[in-house]
Structure 1
Amino acid sequence: MINVSEQHTPRSLIVTLYGAYGRFVPGPVPVAELIRLLAAVGVDAPSVRSSVSRLKRRGLMLPARTTQGTAGYELSAEARQLLEDGDRRIYAAAAPADEGWVLAVFSVPESQRQKRHVLRSRLAALGFGTATPGVWIAPARLYEETRHTLQRLGLAPYVDLFRGEHLGFTPTAEAVARWWDLAAIAKAHEAFLQVRAPVLERWQRRTDTPPEEAYRDYLLALDSWRHLPYVDPGLPASLLPADWPGARSAAVFQALHERLRDAGAGFAGV
């Protein structure tokens, strides 16, 4: 079941903050600065500290000292790879071309069925659709990110990846509607538009762009948007319904990004 919520968790906002600004700061981000930046989007200090601790346990954030000796956190190499993989989806400006498909074919022994569950969950999180229970499919451009993810999680030995095209017998547009829940994906786009399109309209009526307001609205928009390119893996427009809302939601995010990101960087200290 697809669920892209407008409720922003502290942990998600911290990841979004590093993706938008924190990774471009020279050296670690001081803890006090993290607390200041998260307070601007409604997260209190205890929630910041507990969320950072969870991200540290997952190996995504590393404790470090700034050049002034202040306690702070920097991203691990794994976290940087995750953000770089995400950039190719989150900031894609153009509608994707039809470049074929990547297939993930897996077999996990019954004695390791927990890994089967993890594998299915990760493929779903990457945006794969289900062709059959052991064969998952996604647009071919997702191959590199899929390879990185499966290797990072130690799941590569159970999976073979193939690249190819769909030759029949069902028309590809009909098959895509079977492989993905298009109605649920469309609903996620509509939910984003319902909240973020009015924000864009308000900014379009303004001539000023105060840094703190720009930072707040941009971070919240990015935190909502960055999940959508995983819910919707970017299927070719020719295979989607004519009234597909994905292009509209992408345009709203792109406009918010262009208007707010650089202005918000002033508040973020980048």
Structure 2
Amino acid sequence: MPRLTSGEWIDHFLSTDPPRHKSLVMTVCGDAIAPHGGAFWLGSMIELLGPLGVSDRLVRTSVFRLVQEGWLVASREGRRSRYALEPRTVPRFERANRRIYSPPALHWDGRWTFVLAPTSSIDGELRALLRKEMEWEGFAMLATGVMAHPAPDRDTLRELLARAGGADKVFVCDAAELPGVGSRPLPELVGDAWDLSSVAAAYRQFIAGFAPVAALLEDKPDVDAQDAFAIRSLLIHAYRRVQLHDPMLPVGLLPDPWPGSDAYELARRIYRLTWARAEEHIMAMLRKEDELTPPADGHFHDRFGGLA
């Protein structure tokens, strides 16, 4: 691809890989709205997403559906509509943010975590719900009612089981190799439990798509604030989409080289090059409707290992 301006790159990206509108609203809620108090007026969201090719009507439809699905709560002041993250969904946004902005886990202690859901003590509906939630967190189903992961986030697992109503119905345990019995090495379980080829291909596609904008930003770092917001939002949207299918295994258990590590470094580079100007645009749009919109909270500046 020839060297483009930031606006040309944005137009090219939107024409070749247009994001789903509701999903893009979710990305902006997590990346841009949550750090500023977790609430927005509809007019501000329309202003933010207009340059990303999302019409007024599509923003309204997307936000309405997110309210129906329980992600947002709505209120009105005269003819204006205000939306906020539904309090029960805040832990899920925080969990997603930990996945997106934290570096890949490097070390593994050799142990696996197993979640056992016996057919005798758990019904099919709950088992299906747990499987859906836990697969999103990277767990693999080894057999009916047996889910495993080598390095899950313990707090996330605890919150997930409590929310699904399975905390007192399943067994959770750690396991390590039993020396001297001639079994297969536990790391080989990765190859049996997960097909990582599609995840690796998606990371390579992400790198190919965003490497040009990293070069552009490093060559001309003083990008327009609106373009910085657009690039940052498209970056997180695309990166999050790949990560949804990544079981987030420790790097030591992954094929070498693992493109997910390079994808993280690329995402970090671009985010660090755009976050400050993007924040200028976000604050300007949010404060059009609410001049008391707070600046980004302290956790925001910890993203990608710290924002300089």
TM-score over 0.5 for the pair: yes
Could you list the structure 1 runs, at least 4 aligned residues long, displaced by more than 6 angstroms after superposition.
Answer: none
Count of residues in Structure 1 that have an aligned counterpart in Structure 2: 265
2:128 maps to 1:117: yes
Q: How does 1:1-270 map to 2 (within 5 A)?
A: 7-26=18-37, 28-65=39-76, 70-93=80-103, 95-99=105-109, 100-108=111-119, 112-167=123-178, 169-269=183-283
What is the SS of the residue equivalent to 2:54?
coil
The structure with the largest alpha-carbon Rg is 2
Question: Does the 8 Å CA contact 1:102/1:139 hold for their aligned counterparts?
Answer: yes
The answer to whether the 8 Å contact 2:141/2:148 transfers is: yes
Q: For structure 1, which segment, 33-42 or 200-209, has the greater mean C-alpha deviation from structure 2 after superposition? A: 200-209
Shift, 1:165, TM fit: 3.1
Q: 1:63 to 1:232 in 2, by over 3 A?
A: same
The 1:163/1:8 distance shift into structure 2, 3 A limit, reads farther
Q: CA RMSD in A?
A: 2.6
Distance in 2 (CA, whole Å) between partners of 1:166 and 1:209 is 53
Q: Measured at CA, do residues 110 and 50 of structure 1 come closer, stay the same or move farther in structure 2, by a change above 3 Å? A: farther
CA 1:26 to 1:87, structure 2 compared with 1: closer, same or farther past 3 Å? closer
Q: Percent same amino acid at aligned positions?
A: 27
CA contact (8 A) 1:197 1:252 kept: yes
In 1, distance between residues paired with 2:51 and 2:176? 47
User: Using the alignment, how far apart are the partners of 1:54 and 1:86 within structure 2?
Assistant: 20
The residue type equivalent to 1:216 in the other structure is A
Q: Which runs of 5+ in 1 are unaligned?
A: 1-5
Deviation for aligned residue 1:139: 3.6
* TM-score, L = length of structure 2: 0.77
Gaps of 5+ in 2: 1-16, 284-294, 296-308
Q: Tell me by how many angstroms 1:105 deviates.
A: 1.2
